């Protein structure tokens, strides 16, 4: 059920959704916002959503990049979007390798649950936008709406097969969020 006392969030994957996917990013100089993303985030911010980044960074746990490198990329990431007028309400990372057995690597919803506690969010009124099916599955695990933004045919197919809404551009997802958030019985269409 929607809970008017709690804020709804837009959970956002980072790599491949907000910035160019650099594959185990280690170099802050490689951080580049995807065109149109800042404008889309402005609109979501104006709609009153909390903006919460949830990102798998297994390069740390796999030993491909250091924690210091990950922190430098994170700092540059925040800087780029801060310059564009975007203030994230939270930025959460899973640094673990896939075999570590953690509860926060997407598709598991640990990062979303941590944010829910920290920011007092209503997950049933929240959305997650990512570029891989695992992103959407993390949303589904907590009853949020999962949306993919991708043009990759494999990912489109996997997303649709998992019951996710798929778009080519983030701005299209924002339009859909606007429509769903306004619907009076929105929860009815959030059932898997
Ligand atoms: Mg991604
Ligand atoms: Zn983890």
Q: What's the rounded Cα separation, in Å, for the pair 121 and 124?
A: 9
Comparing CA positions, the residue from 123, 93, 112, 107 lying closest to residue 158 is 107
Q: Is the pLDDT of residue 127 over 90?
A: yes
Least confident of 6-10, 75-79, 127-131, 179-183: 179-183
Residue-level pLDDT at 4: 67
Domains for the chain: give ranges and CATH numbers.
Answer: 9-181 (3.40.50.1000)
pLDDT tens readout for residues 90-111:
999 999 999 999 999 999 999 9
Question: Residue 61 Cα, ligand 2 centroid: separation in angstroms?
Answer: 9
Query: CA-to-CA distance for 25 and 65, rounded, in angstroms?
Result: 8
The per-residue pLDDT for 41 is 97
What integer pLDDT is reported at residue 180 of this predicted model?
86
Structure confidence by residue, pLDDT tens digits, 140-177: 999 999 999 999 999 999 999 999 999 999 999 999 99
Measure 83 CA to ligand 1 centroid, in angstroms.
Answer: 22
Ligand nearest to the CA of 18: 1
41: exposed, middle or buried (Cβ count in 10 Å: 0-12, 13-18, 19+): buried
CA-to-CA distance for 30 and 100, rounded, in angstroms? 28
Tell whether the model's pLDDT for residue 54 goes beyond 50.
yes
C-alpha 169: how far from its chain's center? 14
At residue 116, the pLDDT reads 97
Residue 188 CA: distances (Å) to CA of 9, 25, 89, 168, 192: 18, 39, 27, 25, 10
Q: How far is the CA of 122 from the centre of ligand 1 (A)?
A: 23
pTM over 0.95: no
How many angstroms does the Cα of residue 56 sit away from the middle of ligand 2? 7
Percent of the chain with pLDDT over 70: 93
What pLDDT score does 186 carry? 47
pLDDT of residue 184: 58
Per the prediction, the chain carries an average pLDDT of: 93
Collapsing DSSP to helix, strand or coil, 94 comes out as strand
Ligand nearest to the CA of 99: 2
Distance 191 CA to ligand 1 centre (A): 24
């Amino acid at each position: 059920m929607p809970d008017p006392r709690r804020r709804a969030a837009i959970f956002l994957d980072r790599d491949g959704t907000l910035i160019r996917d650099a594959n185990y990013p280690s170099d802050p100089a490689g951080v580049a916002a995807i065109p149109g993303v800042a404008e889309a985030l402005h609109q979501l911010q104006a709609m009153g959503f909390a903006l919460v980044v949830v990102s798998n960074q297994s390069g740390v746990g796999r030993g491909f990049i250091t924690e210091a490198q990950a922190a430098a990329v994170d700092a540059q990431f925040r800087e780029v979007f801060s310059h564009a007028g975007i203030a994230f309400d939270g930025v959460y990372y899973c640094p673990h390798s896939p075999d570590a057995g953690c509860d926060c690597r997407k598709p598991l919803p640990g990062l979303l649950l941590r944010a829910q506690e920290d920011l007092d969010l209503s997950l049933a009124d929240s959305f997650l936008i990512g570029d891989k099916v695992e992103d959407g599955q993390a949303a589904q695990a907590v009853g949020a709406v999962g949306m993919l933004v991708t043009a990759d045919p494999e990912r489109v197919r996997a997303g649709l097969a998992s019951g996710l809404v798929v778009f080519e551009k983030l701005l299209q997802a924002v339009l859909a969020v606007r429509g769903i958030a306004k619907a009076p019985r929105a929860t009815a269409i959030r059932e898997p």
